[in-house]
C-alpha cells in the first residue's frame, strides 16, 4: 500500500497545552485565540483531573484541557493572550514542538496563524 501523506518534520509548529477551570472558560479562550489568528485550531478535551501543590496544600481539581496548534513565530503573542485572558494566577501554558505531521496539515496551521 502506497503512503501518499508521509509525515514531515516541522520545528515551525507547536502544540500548546493549557488547562482551564471549566468548559465555559475553555470555549472562550479557544474562540478568542482562533478569532485573533493566534491559533489555527484548538481542541477542547473532556474533563481531566489535575493533582498539584498550591499554597502549601495538595489540590485536586477537575479541569478542561486545551490542545492549541500554532506556529513558533506565534508563540509569544499566544502566550501573552493566554496570560491576559486566563482566570488562573499561574495558568498552565506548555509548548511542545511538533516534530512530525502531515505536510498538508502543518502547512494549513502556518496559513491560519497570523503574527502582527
Where are the chain's structural domains?
Answer: 9-103
Cell (9 digits) for 114: 497570523
- Of the pLDDT bands very low, low, confident and very high (cuts 50, 70, 90), residue 3 is very low
Residue 37 backbone class (left: φ over 0; alpha: ψ -120 to 50; beta: rest): left
DSSP string, 83-116: HHH-SSSS---EEEE--SEEHHHHHHHHHT----
Fold adopted by 9-103:
Alpha-Beta Plaits (3.30.70)
| pLDDT of 75 | 96
The pLDDT tens digits of the residues spanning 9-59 come to: 566 999 999 999 999 999 999 999 999 999 999 999 988 999 999 999 999
| pLDDT of 86 | 98
Amino acid at each position: 500500500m502506497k503512503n501518499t501523506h508521509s509525515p514531515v518534520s516541522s520545528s515551525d509548529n507547536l502544540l500548546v497545552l493549557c488547562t482551564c477551570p471549566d468548559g465555559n472558560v475553555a470555549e472562550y479562550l479557544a474562540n478568542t485565540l482562533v478569532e485573533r489568528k493566534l491559533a489555527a485550531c484548538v481542541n477542547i478535551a473532556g474533563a481531566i483531573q489535575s493533582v498539584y501543590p498550591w499554597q502549601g496544600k495538595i489540590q485536586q481539581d477537575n479541569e478542561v484541557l486545551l490542545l492549541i496548534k500554532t506556529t513558533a513565530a506565534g508563540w509569544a503573542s499566544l502566550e501573552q493572550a493566554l496570560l491576559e485572558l486566563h482566570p488562573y494566577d499561574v495558568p498552565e501554558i506548555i509548548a511542545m514542538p511538533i516534530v512530525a505531521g502531515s505536510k498538508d496539515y502543518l502547512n494549513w496551521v502556518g496559513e491560519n496563524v497570523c503574527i502582527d
